A and B are shown apart, each in its own frame.
Chain A
Amino acid sequence: MAFGKKNKTAAVAADTSVVIEKPESRLKAMWDTLKMNKAAVAGLVVILILLFIAVFGDLLAPWDPEYSNMSLAFIPPCADHWFGTDQLGRDIFSRVLSGTKVSLFVGLAAVAYSLAIGTVLGSIAGYFGGKTDLIIMRCMDIMLSIPSILLAITLMAALGKGLDKAIIAIGTVSIPEYARIVRSSILSVKENDYVAAAKVIGNSNGRIIFVHILPNVISSIVVRATLGISTAILDTAALGFLGMGVQPPMAEWGDMLGRARSYIFSAPYTLVFPGLMITIAVLAFNLFGDGLRDALDPKERV
């Protein structure tokens, strides 16, 4: 009995030491490296500011972004209208602020959508291998053989206008990328002993994939997703510019550019600020994403 108790104490002691010596989590280590990277921190700060604008933009806007008044059309930037007014007399500064939530929302939602589907497809392909793998990855190859923006506008043509459709179109075109990344990550860990152990004790395939494998490959997915947001913001703007984005009078940066382009010579200021905002947002996510990648794997630094 005493012997047993002693053993138990030893076991507890061992447990405690395990807790103490537990290595820092990968995310914590990533964050520590990331903090040293000024460009990445700057990107993160800009992202946080953009998120703030996205949430409170309509409250911060000095004018109603959707209120048009033809008698106020084409006022160049001045004290009342910092970025000027557009062809319908709407305040461009207010519309730029209001457009932030659309771009960020579509960007995040499109990435979430393609990440979800891409992860499931990539996991199934990588985990089961064989014919399943072949069929899924061939389908992904087919999607990759159409330039993404062309596929996105074809999808928009088929689905019709609207934000929800834009999310589907932009998200769908990047599914193959996530599927590929997840598949190769799964292939690299699925032969590990812990996966075999999980199988032996009778876990279902779904549980093994989602509970045992995916958490171990999540960091590379996070990096790709961050960079994916910048692509999604660019694609959203491109669809808007081509007139396939939001319905009027909603403000969206690409749509603002598309509608104002006829006034390129008479009122160039209408075209400067929405594009500048797109560039800033994309740059921020690129800087942050690059920083994340470097923090994760310094070897991949480009």
Chain B
Amino acid sequence: MLKYIGKRLLMLIPVLFGVSLIVFFLMRVCAPDPAPIVLGQHATQESMDAWRQANGLNDPIVVQYIDFIKGALTGDLGTSYFTKAPVTEEIMARFPATIELALVAIVLASLLGVSVGVVSAVKKNSIFDNGGMLLSLVGVSVPIFWLGIMLIILFSGTMHLLPSSGRIDPALRPDTITGFMLIDCLLQGDMEAFWDALRHMILPAVTLSLYSMAIIARMTRSSMLDTLKQDYIRTAKAKGISDGKVDIKHALRNALMPIVTVIGLQLGSLLGGAVLTESVYSWPGLGNYTVQCIMKSDFPVIQGVVLLIAVIFVLMNLLVDVLYAFLDPRIKYAKKEV
């Protein structure tokens, strides 16, 4: 197992190398010259030349790439064109907000998705099944940003129940310890701030989770339907075990494998969805920041963000594969990758 994990981690290297190559090529070769955008329309030729020189953009492209890789290996991803702060600092300042949102969303999506899927499978062709599947069909079809807008109109604009932007009321903002707002509030015992942060979290998390919920619900339903057909389920029912117990303890447990896969893969794709959700809710996370950086041609930041997200994405896939082995002891990765 360890050998397998080690091998997979080694395979990360070419993937990250490739990702860095793609992003670097796009940003430095295809993209327009950032100097006029960064310095403004009225910048003089001399000042733009000086700026390019200072940021190493006059070097041959290969030299630029090697410099970038050298820096990246030592944890230095360059400095932002605008804030002049190191890219790693810029990213780390916003990363917890995105992770917190994504984690709450995936928990929400898993709980609701698995529940809807199980009910749909157990009560197949009932009104619950049809309703659940209709909901999940809408879930994969509705644009995430429009859903966000509609929820804001409904819950903030019309009912005035929930806030529509930000992570917390600025007046209640706790000191930063972990960067995770909910945890920071709890650590400082400030329940008022905690509830406020939670209220700010509800709409973005619901918005971000709907798509994943729909996918998880569909997968749970089909996996449960397969399992419920098995002989051991009939045997268990014949033995007089209650339906509910059979459905959960016997069926759901055995149906869990594909569900876990989907949940793991969804956590990765949530990071992509976060770009849009954060933009709608002005959530001070990485996704929102990336969009702003793309608008401003802040290349070093974009490179850093894409690399980071690719690492998380690939690690999530690895985690899913490893979880497989724990959930199903029949799978062994020791000899040959299947």
Contact = CB atoms under 8 A, between A and B. Distances in A.
Interface of A: 138-139, 141-143, 145-151, 153-160, 230, 234, 237-238, 241-243, 254, 257, 261, 264-265, 268, 271-272, 274-275, 278-279, 282-283, 286-287, 301-302
Contacts of B131: none
Contacts of A257: 145-146, 149
Contacts of A238: 143-145, 276
Contacts of B291: 153, 242
Given A150-B306, A153-B291, A302 B146 contact: no
Contacts of B137: 283, 286-287
B31 A264 contact: no
B272 A138 contact: no
Contacts of A265: 153, 156-157
B31 to A, nearest CB: 4
Contacts of B218: 302
A158 B169 CA distance: 37
Nearest to A300: B222
A302 B219 contact: yes
A139 B18 CA distance: 8
B142 A147 contact: no
A29 to B, nearest CB: 23
Interface string B193-224: 00000000000000000000000001101100
B122 interface: no
A301 B294 CA distance: 40
A263 B31 CA distance: 32
Most buried by B among A145, A271, A275, A279: A145
Contacts of B141: 230, 279, 282-283, 286
11 contacts: A138-B18, A141-B15, A142-B18, A145-B15, A157-B27, A157-B31, A271-B150, A271-B153, A279-B138, A279-B142, A302-B218
Contacts of A241: 143, 145, 276, 279
Given A275-B146, A283-B138, A286-B141, 14 more contacts: A142-B15, A142-B18, A143-B22, A145-B313, A147-B313, A153-B294, A154-B302, A154-B306, A157-B295, A157-B302, A238-B276, A241-B145, A271-B149, A283-B141
A302 B140 CA distance: 14
Nearest to B314: A145
B275 A153 contact: yes
Contacts of A142: 14-15, 18-19, 22
Interface in B265-315: 268-269, 271-273, 275-276, 279-280, 290-291, 294-295, 297, 302, 305-306, 309-310, 313-314
A158 B27 CA distance: 6
Q: How many interface residues does chain B have, given as a range?
A: 35 or more
B8 to A, nearest CB: 12
A286 to B, nearest CB: 5
Contacts of A261: 149, 280
A160 B137 CA distance: 33
B98 to A, nearest CB: 12
B271 A147 contact: yes
B23 interface: yes
A279 B142 CA distance: 5
A157 B32 CA distance: 9
Nearest to A290: B137
B102 to A, nearest CB: 11
Nearest to B20: A142
Contact of A154 (B23, B32, B279, B314): B23
B273 A149 contact: yes
Contacts of A139: 18
A148 B219 contact: no
A149 B275 contact: yes
B44 to A, nearest CB: 24
8 pairs of A and B residues whose beta carbons are closest in the complex:
A147-B272, A275-B146, A142-B18, A158-B30, A158-B26, A283-B141, A158-B31, A282-B141
Nearest to B149: A271
B152 interface: yes
Contact of A159 (B30, B157, B314): B30
Most buried by B among A149, A230, A243, A274: A149
B135 to A, nearest CB: 12
Contacts of A154: 23, 26-27, 294, 302, 306
Contact of B153 (A145, A159, A268): A268
Contact of B19 (A146, A158, A243): A146
A282 B140 CA distance: 9
Contacts of A301: 222
Contacts of B145: 237-238, 241, 254, 257
A184 to B, nearest CB: 14
B22 A264 contact: no
A273 B15 CA distance: 42
A103 to B, nearest CB: 11
A302 B138 contact: no
B40 to A, nearest CB: 19
Nearest to A146: B310
Contacts of A146: 19, 22, 306, 309-310, 313
Nearest to A155: B26
A230 B309 CA distance: 25
Contacts of A155: 26
Contacts of B15: 138, 141-142, 145
Interface in B251-269: 268-269
Nearest to B156: A265
Contacts of A237: 143, 145-146
Interface in B119-167: 137-138, 140-146, 149-150, 152-153, 156-157, 164
